[in-house]
A and B are shown apart, each in its own frame.
Chain A
Amino acid sequence: MRIQEHPILSFPRGRKVKFTFNGQELEGYEGEPIAAALHAAGVRVLRYSPNLHRPRGFYCAIGNCSSCLMTVDGEPNVRVCIAELQEGMAVEIQKGKGELYANS
């Protein structure tokens, strides 16, 4: 679901990198928001709410609303709509409120 050709815009993309989503290998572009890379791969469900376990995606895409929180490389509550994708990142669906690093 990436735009290849646009009447007004061009999209200079960085280096293609591999990362994992819940253990599954995906590809994205270095530096783009993790949520954009996931979205491009067709992943729109980013987490489940703490009490009623409702599926959630992002809402504002700019870091204001807290809808998009995921666990990245073990760190919970990462706003993936603004966090930049790096090679080898392990992105996971966060169930509930997340846990801080086991060894910090």
Chain B
Amino acid sequence: MMKRTGVPNREDIDSILPTAERLAQGPVAIVECFEKIPCNPCYTACQFDAIQEFEDINDRPIIDFAACTGCGLCISACPGLAIFVVDQTYSDTEAVVQIPYEFLPVPEVGEEVLALDRSGQVITKGRVVKVKETKKMNLTKVVSLAVPKELAIEVRFFRREKRHG
């Protein structure tokens, strides 16, 4: 139970995933927001009307996956850092996960990292393919990680392989 562990379970995740068909079409936002809290900047950030207008500020966001282009603007707008964009079409074997990142040092493109799941376990290796950092993102960087396709739904953080003293 997420209230005890802070980690969403299978049921929680399935409730917010787009369909396999949609995932196979291209980049799409996965909004891992499971709790009703007073918050709506994801709606304000979306330029494609892919997030439904909030009737009540405590509502959980409702995503129109058809309208979502996976542009990723919502990733840095979310105060909870709970939004990820997954692109299953990156290659035959790999998908790319866009992850919000607010730490130093910022990883470099091409760097290989350890990819972690929602409970902080290392589940695979990832490769940094892009690092986005614009004024509009207000210091929340977005790191794009290439990982084995079947793990794109699980990888939600990463760690450098080198351990610093």
| Closest CB in chain B relative to A11 CB, distance in Å | 14
Q: Mark B89-109, 1 if CB is under 8 A from A, else 0.
A: 000000000000011100000
Question: Hey, which chain B residues are within 8 Å of A12, CB to CB?
Answer: none
Interface size class of A (residues with CB under 8 A): under 10
The B interface is mostly helix, strand or loop, or mixed, namely loop
Binds B, one of A1-9, A17-25, A36-44, A85-93: A1-9
Question: Hey, which chain B residues are within 8 Å of A6, CB to CB?
Answer: 104
| Residue B24 at the chain A interface, CB threshold 8 Å | no
The A interface is mostly helix, strand or loop, or mixed, namely loop
- For chain A, residues 10 to 69, give those with C-beta under 8 angstroms from any C-beta of chain B: none
Interface size class of B (residues with CB under 8 A): under 10
| Residue B57 at the chain A interface, CB threshold 8 Å | no
A7 to B106, CA, bound (A): 9
Closest residue of chain A to B105 (Cβ to Cβ) is A5
- For chain B, residues 114 to 165, give those with C-beta under 8 angstroms from any C-beta of chain A: 139
Closest residue of chain A to B138 (Cβ to Cβ) is A8
A8 to B104, CA, bound (A): 9
Question: Hey, which chain B residues are within 8 Å of A7, CB to CB?
Answer: 102-104, 139
Question: Hey, which chain A residues are within 8 Å of B104, CB to CB?
Answer: 5-7
A39 to B94, CA, bound (A): 48
A34 to B62, CA, bound (A): 50
**B contact set with A: CB distance below 8 Å:** 102-104, 139
A-B contact pairs, 8 of them (CB 8 A): A5-B104, A6-B104, A7-B102, A7-B103, A7-B104, A7-B139, A8-B102, A8-B139
Q: Give 6 new A-B contacts, CB below 8 A, not counting A7-B102, A7-B103.
A: A5-B104, A6-B104, A7-B104, A7-B139, A8-B102, A8-B139
